[in-house]
A and B are shown apart, each in its own frame.
Chain A
Amino acid sequence: MEHEKQGFVSKYIFSFDHKMIGKQYFTLAMSMGFIGGILAVLIRLQLGFPSQPFPFLENLFPVGMASGIMTPEFYVSLFTMHGTIMVFFLLSLLPVSGFGNFLIPLQIGARDMAFPFLNMLSFWTVVPGAIIIIISFFVEGGAAASGWTAYPPLSAIRSAIPGSDLGQTLWLVGMIFFVASFTMGGLNFVVTILNLRTKGLRMMRMPLTTWAQFIVGILGLLSFPALAAGALLLTFDRSLGTSFFLPAGIFIGDTLMPHEGGTPLLWQHLFWFLGHPEVYIIMLPAMGFTSDILATFCRRPIFGYKSMVYAIWAIGTLSFLVWGHHMFVSGMSPFLGSLFVVTTLAIAIPSAVKAFNWLFTIARAKIQFTSASLFGLGVVSLFVTGGLTGIFLGTNATDIQLHDTYFVVGHFHFIMAGAGLFGAFGAVYYWYPKMFGRMLSERLGKIHFWITFVAYYAVFFPMHYLGVSGMMRRIYDPNVYEYLQPLQPVNLFITISAFVLFTGQLIFIYNYFASMRRGAPATSNPWNATGLEWSTPPHPGHGNWEGEIPPAHRWPYDYSEPGKKRDFTPQWEA
């Protein structure tokens, strides 16, 4: 295969190479994640030290932190944008768009994605979205402030609160860019996996990471249109005075709004029809990474490969039938609520299948404790913790008590955010040699893991107690309620742990960038792993394989076969 010499622009900016596009997504997602992390630190600053002045922050946010004290309006913007940035621009972009683009062609034995131009376009569509989201902090009225779920009427009436004005409009514009980009990416994923597999790579021989990305592509294609339809209607409500989501009788201050005929519940249905599959869009790749990483470092075939694949299918299918469990207290029919309880608890079955399969893979194995495998084990731990608390929230009888408390915040930071993030970290440690041809520092990686793991539990586990004690989610200052005042030491503890958690990530960022130049050079298969991606040269060029694409002779989990000299047999060996 011939490639004309590429200039800087065509190599690093408007590149068609799926690996470069994947790395571009990494850079974007990590920058957005860093910003999202700063927002989290600011949120914790307010909750740990309510309404105390921090004069140095006034320089950065002259309105929101006037004389160093955070205003309630700014606090509301902070958690809204923290959620939006983390869910969409870190946890969707890094594992799905980033690792999906980077890994799918390598793992299925393809030269590139099916449509490289569309791939490049999808990256350059999400960049303006990210920029618009960041800019919205610095416009009149500040960033959007209706939560990451953007419930109307707060998000639909421009005069409701300061953040409902220009900030919310920019939020919607940013999200439309994101949806367009993600749709293009999803199309590419699904078609590439179906049509461009190498010889012999039957669907049931694909690594679980690719299986997860395949289902994620389908989930994205089926769920994001609902958000797009909702965003279209919401834009009309905001800009043209329609009332799709607005019933009669809404007062802003003393002014009666002219709207009538709509229903805010409609937005919740449309949003959560996207919102719940979105949770699995974040989770499934992390599950795939974990399966691949654990098999490699336990030197064992993944336990129950077929059941893992079926579980991914089952989770993907069920994820479209459970959105109502976010709406138990919305005034929806209680009968409908009971149905959603059944479907929600049904999702525990395939989830438990995955958790048990991981445990059986680990059980009595001689685990090699590398940074990647530690993060893989971390995913299992967080997934079980978050899964158990999910049962309380998926059952309407208990959810009505716990709804919109810190219990929910604790829960989803474990199962979705935490497991997704740990999966992505594990994947970076595992595939970094293929990305940059060098190894990450294992010593820094292990320090990073232990700080992150301990601090993560220290931050989010106590939140369950706060929630059961009645501290509501999204509250600006819990101390206004007498019964929440005794919880202040817990909040202070969480805040300090959150600072530690954030600082720990700086180690990772240093390791990631420093190892690009100074890491030990990697061999083409440093972990003695079996997937097709390890048959490429250490730093593959555009086209991935220099000669012929190797065919797949077997599944990718042939570790420790009895009677063989080596403890692994790569997929490309007959």
Chain B
Amino acid sequence: MSQTAIAQADWGGGASPFGVTWQKMMMWFFIVTDALLFAGLLVSYGVVRIATGDWPTQSEVFSLTYIATMTFVLITSSATMACGVKAAELGRPQTAAKFVWLTILGGFIFLGMQAYEWTVFIGDGGGITGNPWGSPTFSQFFFIITGFHGFHVLTGVIVLLVVAIRAAMGRYSPAGVENAGLYWHFVDLVWVFVFALFYLV
């Protein structure tokens, strides 16, 4: 994008206050606003759950071991991502690309496990308008919160695929890997909140 480059090349301006590029800063601000979107959903869930009363015990509905495995997979993928970012920073594109592919694999495993979890949940009678365990809002919040998070994971996987393919084509920038990594860590961190607040509490 020639116009995008102009802003930086001709800038010659004052000191950047946090010593970061505007791309990275923009990713951080985007993460803040996206985090608040999840906060809105989780707070709504909290309000409705407290107001409702007949909330089912989660361990009787879900296999918490299974959910914990999903969590483990996602956090592991965060670790591989961190390795990828570091390798890119050190100027080792091959290693970086390898770790990005591993992260993508982790993302796909998580999505697959989530799809299976949804299948079981729906098979047990959990629906968008009601469920056999208690307040209908229980299954509604399950679908909207895990679904919205899953959508974010899918977005992250697509972003990482773009990064990996661009790296394979030689159009590779450490900053690009880092920004994709920031988003991926954010998506993982949100899952920790979902896991804690929806499945455990």
Partner of B40, one of A242, A262, A270, A543: A270
Task: Determine the chain B residues whose CB is within 8 A of the CB of A240 once the complex forms.
Answer: 128-129
- A186 to B33 alpha-carbon distance, docked (Å): 10
Residue of B nearest to A239 (CB): B128
- A153 to B61 alpha-carbon distance, docked (Å): 30
Nearest CB on A from B22, distance (A): 4
The answer to whether the Cβ of B60 comes within 8 Å of any Cβ in the partner chain is no
Interface segment out of the listed A91-99, A110-118, A379-387, A468-476: A110-118
Task: Determine the chain B residues whose CB is within 8 A of the CB of A109 once the complex forms.
Answer: 13
A187 and B13 contact, CB distance less than 8 A: no
Nearest CB on B from A574, distance (A): 16
A232 and B41 contact, CB distance less than 8 A: yes
B144 and A233 contact, CB distance less than 8 A: yes
Task: Determine the chain A residues whose CB is within 8 A of the CB of B37 once the complex forms.
Answer: 225, 228-229
The answer to whether the Cβ of B140 comes within 8 Å of any Cβ in the partner chain is yes
A196 and B40 contact, CB distance less than 8 A: no
The number of residues on chain B lying at the interface, defined by a beta carbon within 8 Å of a beta carbon of chain A, is 43
Partner of A226, one of B2, B34, B36, B128: B36
A225 and B39 contact, CB distance less than 8 A: yes
A-B contact pairs, 30 of them (CB 8 A): A1-B10, A16-B3, A110-B11, A111-B11, A115-B4, A187-B26, A187-B29, A188-B26, A191-B25, A194-B22, A194-B25, A196-B7, A196-B11, A203-B17, A221-B29, A221-B32, A221-B33, A222-B32, A225-B36, A229-B39, A230-B44, A240-B129, A241-B128, A241-B129, A242-B128, A244-B140, A261-B52, A261-B137, A548-B12, A549-B13
A117 and B144 contact, CB distance less than 8 A: no
Q: A109-B13, A202-B14 are in contact. Are A114 and B128 (CB under 8 A)?
A: no
Task: Determine the chain A residues whose CB is within 8 A of the CB of B135 once the complex forms.
Answer: 260-261
Partner of B22, one of A115, A244, A262: A115
Nearest CB on A from B147, distance (A): 10
Q: A263-B47, A549-B12 are in contact. Are A115 and B26 (CB under 8 A)?
A: yes
The number of residues on chain A lying at the interface, defined by a beta carbon within 8 Å of a beta carbon of chain B, is 58
Q: For chains A and B in complex, what number of residue pairs have CB atoms within 8 angstroms?
A: 151
B33 and A222 contact, CB distance less than 8 A: yes
Tell me which residues from 97 to 138 in chain A have a Cβ below 8 Å from any Cβ of chain B: 109-117
Extra 4 A-B pairs, beta carbons < 8 Å, given A242-B137, A244-B141: A194-B16, A196-B11, A226-B40, A244-B140
Residue of A nearest to B30 (CB): A187
Task: Determine the chain A residues whose CB is within 8 A of the CB of B52 once the complex forms.
Answer: 261
B6 and A543 contact, CB distance less than 8 A: yes
Partner of B137, one of A110, A196, A243: A243
Nearest CB on B from A319, distance (A): 15
Q: A109-B13, A195-B16, A221-B33 are in contact. Are A1 and B6 (CB under 8 A)?
A: yes
- Please indicate which of the listed interface residues B10, B17, B52 has the most CB atoms of chain A within 10 Å of its own CB: B10
- A109 to B30 alpha-carbon distance, docked (Å): 24
Task: Determine the chain A residues whose CB is within 8 A of the CB of B38 once the complex forms.
Answer: 229
The answer to whether the Cβ of A495 comes within 8 Å of any Cβ in the partner chain is no
Nearest CB on A from B192, distance (A): 19
Residue of B nearest to A184 (CB): B30
- A259 to B7 alpha-carbon distance, docked (Å): 53
Tell me which residues from 303 to 332 in chain A have a Cβ below 8 Å from any Cβ of chain B: none
Task: Determine the chain A residues whose CB is within 8 A of the CB of B116 once the complex forms.
Answer: none
B36 and A222 contact, CB distance less than 8 A: yes
Q: Mark A1-21, 1 if CB is under 8 A from B, else 0.
A: 100100000000000100000
Partner of B41, one of A187, A229, A258, A273: A229
Nearest CB on B from A277, distance (A): 12
The answer to whether the Cβ of B111 comes within 8 Å of any Cβ in the partner chain is no
Task: Determine the chain A residues whose CB is within 8 A of the CB of B29 once the complex forms.
Answer: 186-187, 190-191, 221
- A57 to B107 alpha-carbon distance, docked (Å): 58
The answer to whether the Cβ of B48 comes within 8 Å of any Cβ in the partner chain is yes
Residue of A nearest to B37 (CB): A225
Residue of B nearest to A247 (CB): B51
- Please indicate which of the listed interface residues A117, A186, A233, A549 has the most CB atoms of chain B within 10 Å of its own CB: A233
B44 and A114 contact, CB distance less than 8 A: no
The answer to whether the Cβ of B148 comes within 8 Å of any Cβ in the partner chain is yes
- Please indicate which of the listed interface residues B14, B39, B47 has the most CB atoms of chain A within 10 Å of its own CB: B14
B140 and A225 contact, CB distance less than 8 A: no
The answer to whether the Cβ of B1 comes within 8 Å of any Cβ in the partner chain is yes
- A526 to B21 alpha-carbon distance, docked (Å): 36
A113 and B7 contact, CB distance less than 8 A: yes
Task: Determine the chain A residues whose CB is within 8 A of the CB of B144 once the complex forms.
Answer: 232-233, 236, 242
- A16 to B141 alpha-carbon distance, docked (Å): 41
B17 and A195 contact, CB distance less than 8 A: yes
The answer to whether the Cβ of A183 comes within 8 Å of any Cβ in the partner chain is yes
- A118 to B100 alpha-carbon distance, docked (Å): 26
Q: A194-B17, A196-B7, A266-B48 are in contact. Are A243 and B26 (CB under 8 A)?
A: no
Nearest CB on A from B146, distance (A): 14
